Chain A
Amino acid sequence: MPDYDHLILPYSSGDADKDEGLLVNSLIARAQQPIADPDIWLGGVDHGGVVLTSIDAVFGWARSKSLWPMLFGLACCAFEMMAAAGNRWDISRFGMEIFRPSPRQADMMIVAGTLTWKMAPAVRRLYDQMAEPKWVLAMGSCAISGGTFSESYSVVPGVNRILPVDVYVPGCPPRPEGLYHGLMELHQKIQKAGYLKGNVHLPRLD
């Protein structure tokens, strides 16, 4: 019988659980205040010259019409997101039919559902691994503020504690039409943002 000891995962040991608990606790300690929303908002920012403005318009148009969302869902809002991606509401009308299963190819993160503190490091890591420029859409009451569970010890009271959120879509869960309204707001925001849009600098997780 071959020796399979080297294949045993560290998650089967108590040490790994302890490490994860320390990571989560340090994240909770550092995420007591919400991260400020990215300041470029729909009010419109003037970028100066004629040339830059037209380049901004071209790249803003290209970026906003080819958003690729990250493929992941946390809770029940994810089902409305799937419905939005399905054939009845058909997300491909907005140039975003491809939900990418890898953060390397995704522009946009739809945080659909309740985010627990245990899941928070993973979501934050996914956001960190996405390529710039990137946008975050918080979908549903739980993602916005913790919703029903905002008093809970285990639920992140709003994903803006760990991510800079661009668009908030309220609802419990929001219907696909609501999600689309948020997406179209995000499109307008991207078009206003300009091609040199920088992302919010976040402190390191670990």
Chain B
Amino acid sequence: MLDNLGTLGLFVALALVFPLLLIGLPLILRYSGVIPQKPSSVKQDTYECGMKPFRDAWTQFNFHYYTFAILFVVLDVMSVFLFPWAANFVKLSRSDQIDVLVEALVFVLILLIGFLYAWKKKALEWR
């Protein structure tokens, strides 16, 4: 019992020392001059593949990208779930022949209702 607690204490000590070492080492190297610090206006400028940056980076995108992305993710995840189901369909359907199909159909139906709802709300139209 006491041995286990000793291991735990060692672990706690290590868990404290190691992060402090990782945080402290760069600071020591920095202030001892091993890591040179020579900031300049060019170096602190935005990296644009060697080009001079111009204008503002905060350009506006059409908000409709968001709904498209969400719909894509939903259908994407659906296909990810359906692939292993389809690959193992024969093995699964040996025991319960209709259940496996119905379960997948219910899953697709739920997503299909959501998809039809999005379609009805004109999420697929580009305005």
A129 at the interface (CB under 8 A from B): yes
B38 at the interface (CB under 8 A from A): yes
Q: Is the CB of A129 within 8 A of B45?
A: yes
Q: Is the CB of A129 within 8 A of B51?
A: no
Interface residues on A, range: 20 to 34
Interface residues on B, range: 10 to 19
From known contacts A10-B54, A196-B33, infer whether A129 and B49 are also in contact, taking CB-CB under 8 Å: no
How far is B100's CA from A116's CA once the two chains are assembled, in angstroms?
A: 65
How many inter-chain residue pairs (CB < 8 Å) link A and B?
38
**Taking each of B45, B49, B54, B55, which has the highest tally of chain A beta carbons within 10 Å of its own beta carbon?**
B49
Report the stretch among A34-42, A86-94, A119-127, A143-151 that lies at the interface.
A119-127
How far is B48's CA from A121's CA once the two chains are assembled, in angstroms?
A: 13
Residue of A nearest to B51 (CB): A122
Can you give 10 A-B contacts (C-beta < 8 A)? A10-B54, A102-B47, A123-B50, A125-B51, A128-B40, A129-B45, A129-B47, A132-B37, A196-B34, A206-B52
Q: Which B residues are closer than 8 A to A by beta carbons?
A: 33-34, 36-38, 40, 42-43, 45, 47, 49-52, 54-55, 59
